[in-house]
Structure 1
Amino acid sequence: METYNDVFEKRLSVRAERFDVDAIAEYDLFLSIGEDAFRFAVIDASTKQCLYLEDYAFFKKLSKEELIAVLNRIYENHLFLKANYWNNIRAAFRNTPFTLVPNELFDSKANRKYLRWISPPLPNEEVCATPQQVIDAHTLFKAPKELVLWLENIAYPSRQVQFSHAVCSFLEGIFKYDYNATPVQFHVAVEANQFFIAVTQGSTLEYCNMFQYRTAQDFIYYLLFVIDELKRDPATCHVNFLGQINRQSKVYDIAYRYIKHLHFHERPALGITFDHNFDNVPSYQYFNLLAMHLL
């Protein structure tokens, strides 16, 4: 790991053999931005091969101003990240509030109203909408205006940046991936202090939410709360773990005490290929990032 002034560290950097910095115009760039980490993936637009993956962890929760300062530092010292000739660029925010609106009720002129009931948008916050074909709905979410402007005017002034929420690729990815034959699935994408949970039955989304947590006890409380609300039995329901979790994690250990059918999927079938340099990378930990190519 590389550490920079006790502010952040580079946790992961993996490059495929055929990555060519001179071929960036043929690659799609996917950015995942949060208060606790910044990640990006480079995927060949035609072959759908993952060519580059990097993960930067922050040592504390950053304010918007601190986050932009850290991103400036990362970009200034990076060989190719700030190139302005990518095929496509999509940035996803991980920590902002969101809601899902069925297409039959969606009105693009009412974006700010949809969020008013869960988290009223402030003047310095953009409200964005991403169509979700797999659930016939739109995801509405807040995006910090300062970050949007930084990406559009500083990082990539000559390219159009598409914006989404991490939950968008999470939903697209879990419907793409056929986990197993059980009728009801609990999908949990874990981050350091939050997790997404989506409950599916066949092609139907029954539940979707995001929870903040501080301890493993908080985590299991919210997870069991959702299971109970949906009148399911923790002893029989199947939970698929994704994101920043492994079998040594405290949240996994406490979850296993209550839920016996816990699953990890080392290579989710997201329509992406990897070369041998990625053999030791558990791609389920970067599920939401890698699934962005499905949007």
Structure 2
Amino acid sequence: MATITKNYRLLTQLIDESFTVANADVYNLYLTLSKHSIRFGAEDTIRHKFVLLEDYAFTNIFNPLQLVQQLREIIMEHAFLSTVKWHRVRVGIKNQKFTFLPGTLFEAGAAADYLKLHTEIDEFHDRVFSYQHPGLDMVAIYATDQYLPTFLQTTFQPETVQIRHQTSALIETLLHLTERIPTKRLYAYVEQNYLTLIVIKNGTLEFCNMFYYASPEDFIYFLIFVMQEQELNPDQDVVTVWGDLLHDSDLFDILRKYVRHLQLGKKPTNLSYSYKFDEMFEHRYLEVFSLHFCE
């Protein structure tokens, strides 16, 4: 058997004293992954409280198989991740293989055909999923390499596994967090090389897309371009940002240069968090918390 090289390191581990493996059947396990990171969160479903957060960084991950191999290594070597029976295992995938369709037009059997109109998918290796957004006449259609769902369903109890696209989780969270106002508001989620932009007006999704950027100049170009297309003014309209954004980074500097009213987002309300989470920035890890809202 080929040896799998460890290409990950643990960056953050926050575990509340109340967390106990014996109560795993009342915890939801949330997992988000990309070629740069894997993050885990555990929520006590009785208290609606996050009691665990772990963040692993990757290096030298070049394809989906390598990603799943590293995920397997982390889970199998973890003290409890692979051994407990979780109430729910909900996974947020991050990629650009997604689209949205009005619910009235959606036919489940044609999901792959809809997606092919917007992105390239591998008919032999990709698996297509769909998610009906509650309260919206909108269905998210997305794909991920089959290695991931196969691994998840053989590692955990298959009936507990739910796979969502990260954009759906962010949309549901923002609809929960934001007030119904008649003007458009732009929300940004920042990750390494990826920028997700969402525009909401009066409780309705107006725009959502994920952009790949290779430099701060690419990053700000996409943000300003979307603002102009959505008739928003960088000198007047507020932009709220979550994600992997550091105050001393080039991305933060260029944002402050071009957007006058910039604010950092906070953790979602109607949830509680272990005091251990107080040591992290409020705008971090929304991708994990948002899976709570994506039933």
Q: Give the TM-score band, short-chain normalised.
A: over 0.9
Instruction: State the one-letter code of the partner of 1:267.
Output: K
Q: In the alignment, which residue of structure 2 is the partner of 1:185?
A: 185
* 1:27 corresponds to: 27
List aligned pairs for 1:116-127, cutoff 5 A: 116-122=116-122, 123-127=124-128
Q: Secondary structure at the match of 1:135?
A: coil
Determine if the alignment matches structure 1 residue 148 to structure 2 residue 149.
yes
Output aligned runs, 1:269-280, within 5 Å. Answer: 269=269, 271-280=270-279
Cα drift, residue 160 of structure 1? 3.3
Instruction: Compute the displacement of 1:73 (Å).
Output: 1.4
Q: Which residue of 2 aligns with 1:85?
A: 85
Q: TM-score, normalised by structure 1?
A: 0.93
Task: Report the AA paired with residue 263 of structure 2.
Answer: H
Structure 1 residue 292 corresponds to structure 2 residue 291: yes
Could you tell me which amino acid in structure 2 is paired with residue 249 of structure 1? S
Contact preservation (8 Å) 2:21, 2:84: no
| Letter of the 1:135 counterpart | L
- Residues 92 and 166 in structure 2, CA contact (< 8 A), matched pair in contact too: yes
Structure 1 pair 141–224 and aligned structure 2 pair: CA distance change class (3 A)? same
Query: Does the alignment pair 1:135 with 2:131?
Result: no
Deviation string 1:154-213 (CA, Å, 9 cap, x unpaired) is x21555311111111100111111279683211101110101100111212111101001
Whole-angstrom distance in 1 between the partners of 2:183 and 2:105: 28
Task: Please list the CA deviations of residues 233-266 of structure 1 after superposition, one character each: whole Å capped at 9, or x if unmatched.
Answer: 2111211101111322211210111111111123
SS at structure 2 position matched to 1:80: coil
After superposition, the CA RMSD in angstroms is 1.9
Partners of 1:173 and 1:288 within 8 A in 2: no
Contact 2:6 2:70 in 1 (8 A): no
- State the partner residue of 2:106: 106
Q: Secondary structure at the match of 1:142?
A: strand
The 8 Å contact of residues 97 and 120 in structure 2, kept in 1 or not, is answered as no
Which amino acid counterpart does residue 273 of structure 1 have in structure 2?
A: S
| CA 262–67 in structure 1, closer or farther in 2 if over 3 Å, else same | same
1:44-89 Cα shifts (integer Å, max 9, x gaps): 1111100100011112443112112211211121011113411111
Partner of 2:41: 41
Contact persistence 1:30–1:42 (CA under 8 A):
yes
State the distance in 1 between where 2:190 and 2:111 align: 28
Percent of aligned pairs with the same amino acid: 26
In the alignment, the residues of structure 2 paired with residue 117 and residue 133 of structure 1 have an alpha-carbon distance, to the nearest angstrom, of: 24
Between 66-75 and 212-221, report the one with greater CA deviation.
66-75
CA distance in 2: counterparts of 1:86 and 1:171, whole angstroms: 25
Deviation at 1:267, TM superposition (A): 3.1
Find the aligned partners of 1:248 and 1:179 in 2 and give their Cα distance: 30
Q: Which amino acid aligns with 2:153?
A: E
- Whether the 8 Å CA contact 2:42–2:53 is kept in 1: the answer is yes
State whether structure 2 residue 197 is matched by structure 1 residue 197.
Answer: yes
In structure 1, C-alpha distance between the alignment counterparts of 2:181 and 2:232, rounded to whole Å:
17
Change (3 A) 1:181 1:206: closer
The aligned amino acid for 2:284 is Q
Equivalent positions of 1:148-187 (< 5 A) are: 148-153=149-154, 155-157=155-157, 159-178=159-178, 183-187=183-187
SS of residue matched to 2:246: coil
Distance between the aligned counterparts of 2:104 and 2:19, measured in 1? 43
Alpha carbons 1:17, 1:277 under 8 Å: kept: no
In structure 1, runs of 5+ residues without a counterpart are none
Runs of 4+ in 1 over 4 A off after TM superposition: 179-182
Matching residue's letter, 2:25: A
Asked whether the 8 Å contact 2:96–2:210 carries over to 1, the reply is no
- Report the Cα distance in structure 2 between the residues aligned to 1:41 and 1:254, rounded to whole angstroms: 31
Distance, in Å, in 1 between the alignment partners of 2:242 and 2:151 is 30
Contact 2:41 2:288 in 1 (8 A): yes
Q: TM-score, normalised by structure 2?
A: 0.93
Count of residues in Structure 1 that have an aligned counterpart in Structure 2 = 290
Provide the residue aligned with 1:248 in structure 2: 248
**Greater shift after overlay, 140-149 or 229-238?**
229-238
| Structure-1 separation of matches of 2:179 and 2:249 | 22
Kindly tell me: are residues 61 and 248 of structure 1, through their superposed partners in 2, closer, same or farther at Cα, counting changes over 3 Å? farther
